Amino acid sequence: MHQTPQITKKVLAFDIDQTLNVAKTPIPLEIAEVLVKCLNYFEICPISGQKFDQFAVQIVDPLKAAGVTDAQLAHLHLFVAQGTQYYKYANGDWQQVYNYPLKDEDVVKITTVLEESARELGYWEADRLTHGDEIIENRLSQVTFSALGQKAGAEAKYAWDPDTKKRQAIVEKCRAKLPDFLYEIGGTTPINVAAPGMNKEFGMAHLLKELQVNKEDILYFGDMTQPGGNDYPVVQLGIDTITIRSHEDTLYALRGIVGIISA
């Protein structure tokens, strides 16, 4: 007798860049459409090093274009800056539930050492920035180095450091000068720097608390699950993780999940 496979997870959690989209672009319509369907069955939790405004552009706006309802948005949880900030939808708008910002003096220290290290290695490329863009960004609970800025094209970003060796070299110099901070490589050109422990393990631990679920209830999708990657703390936490190569892999998996549930 044929039995339909069962989906036992309650939460689908996602890295964003290269997991749900092409880096720094809105999620494609087909991803948005399948996520809207998933919101009928799961709590959906993007968790990334990006700031809230970027979550709105890359995730929320495409979901609205795909017809998401307010009732569905109540099941979307935005874990910003690796989960050191959390936003949920209530009363027709996004509400910040918590925020763990860096001290101002630490922001100055991190910013200084990132620029110094990149310059010493010849990787400070301010001449390639789009007007009004910046290489180092204060995201409150973390400082992010993006080698070509936020507005550079995807092709240039993918080509800049495909094997992460440039960023590894920058991180090594930074750690030698300023060791008491957390350094993580993510996406195509970023390095995220935060206080010790303020990585995705911190974010996922708070996700468990805020949503009142267990590790076994979560399935996580990410592209940087190797040691040193910004998704690796999720693996270390013991949460079931799918390593993907691109958003097409994620789309294929989500369509399969929806297919099983709706069968």
Question: Which CATH number covers residue 237?
Answer: 3.40.50.1000
DSSP assignment letter at 256: H
Note down the domain range covering 55.
11-100+198-262
Q: Specify whether 28 is located in the same domain as 151.
A: no
CA distance 246 to 222: 9
Quick: pLDDT tens for 108-158.
999 999 999 999 999 999 999 988 899 999 999 999 999 999 888 888 998
CA distance 258 to 250: 12
**pLDDT band, residue 2 (cuts 50/70/90):** very low
Model pTM score: 0.85
Quick: pLDDT tens for 150-182.
888 888 998 999 999 999 999 999 999 999 999
What's the structural domain count of the chain? 2
Q: Specify whether 63 is located in the same domain as 187.
A: no
Terminal Cα distance for the chain, rounded: 16
Residue 60's CB is within 10 A of a number of other CB atoms, namely: 22
In a domain, 108, yes or no: yes
Q: Specify whether 167 is located in the same domain as 202.
A: no
- Cα torsion 112, 118, 119, 125: sign: negative
Q: Specify whether 173 is located in the same domain as 141.
A: yes
